[in-house]
Amino acid sequence: MGGRAGMRPVELVAELAYPARAELGEGPVWDDLTQALVWVDIMAGRVHRLDWRSGFHRVLDVGVSVGAVGLRRIQPGSSKGPGLDAGLVLAVADGFALSGPISGPEPLAELSLERLAEPSVDTSAVRFNEGKVDPEGRWCAGTMSWDESEPVGALYLLHPSGSVQRLVDGVTVSNGMDWSEDGRTFYYVDSATGRVDAFDRDPETGALSARRLVVEIARQDGIPDGMTLDAEGCIWVALWRGAAVRRYTPDGRLDRVLALPATKVTSMAFGGPGLDELFVTTARIMQSGRALAAEPRAGDVFWCRPGTSGRPPFRYGAT
């Protein structure tokens, strides 16, 4: 790879994965046990599930806005015998919740939630936006200020015991996150900073330290949004108002670009049977009628062959 410095990034080609027409499509997560893509439409309070083998799509109505979802771990010996789908851990508008299985035959269903006591956030100032389960089975999710200008948000960690810890304060728009293979580095995007940062991390406690810049996105290229690491340790970042997903090498060099037919690109996840497909969510919100007419596919989910693979998702729950 050394000789490639200065070379133009490889251009990937996007195809439509599902015409979801979401207002704010976000937070895709690949369920490797059931081979389904799960994502949310935040303001609409909906969870989408697309069975990738059959193409069957189902919408689960949460009843409140839903900032992010993660998969729950199947508890061995559970009396209910949940099969392969153990349900979700969710960040709803003001806090966290758990659900039962989300697969089923009806295209439309209601999702009932068990609300957790902590945290309780002030929904007049912030709402939850993006989350992921960490390598140790804890749920990590953050808040963003409604007007995206005040650093009043935070990043939280929910332990399987139900206790909650604040990992980062002073966050303006909490967005993408991921963990290095050894669990000792945490990558995080606060969109308002225009950066992807890294922290040192103690895998046992989840505690973060030594925040530093890894990738800076020029304002005219968009705002860094969702992110994920691939199996090579490269950084994929979605560009809100940038109509693209980019891959950066661990040393910060731009080496792949996926252009999308929607300007507001929110997040991405690796999936497919070989984890070598990439799914990308997009949004329609805050667009004028004319701008939307110019991008009829905004809010849909896109797909490409990224030329590399990702890692299976972590699952929430005690190990």
Q: Write out the residues near Ca ion by the rule CB under 5 A.
A: 130, 175, 225-226, 266-267
- In this structure, what are the phi and psi dihedrals at residue 220, rounded to the nearest 5 degrees? -70, -10
Tell me: does residue 140 bind ligand BGC (CB under 6 A): no
Classify the C-alpha dihedral 296-298-300-304 as positive or negative. positive
Q: Of ligand BGC, Ca ion, none, which one sits near residue 24, judging by CB under 5 to 8 A according to partner kind?
A: ligand BGC
Token pair 């963003």 in the structure block, residue: 144
Paired tokens of 53: 């083998």
Name the catalytic one among 31, 225, 230, 300.
225
Neighbours of 170 (CB within 10 A): 11
Minimum distance from residue 261 beta carbon to Ca ion (Å):
18
Q: How far is the CB of 225 from ligand BGC (least distance, A)?
A: 5
190 belongs to the binding site for ligand BGC (CB under 6 A): no
Say if CB 105 and CB 51 are below 8 A apart. Answer: no
Q: Determine the residue with CB nearest ligand BGC.
A: 191
174 binds, among Ca ion, ligand BGC, none (CB under 5 to 8 A by kind): none
Distances (CA, A) of 247 to 116, 151, 278, 280, 308: 36, 27, 12, 13, 11
Decide: helix, strand or coil at residue 170: strand
Contact partners, residue 18, CB within 8 Å, separation at least 6: 37, 48, 50, 57, 300, 301
- 200 belongs to the catalytic site: no
Verify binding: residue 225, ligand BGC, rule CB under 6 A.
yes
Cβ distance to ligand BGC smaller for residue 71 or 173: 173
CB of 155 to Ca ion, least distance (A): 13
CA-CA distance, 287 to 157, in Å (whole number)? Answer: 33
Q: Hey, which residues between 72 and 101 contact ligand BGC (CB under 6 A)?
A: none
Contacts with ligand BGC, residue ranges (CB under 6 A): 24, 26, 42, 129-130, 148, 173, 175, 191, 223, 225, 240, 266
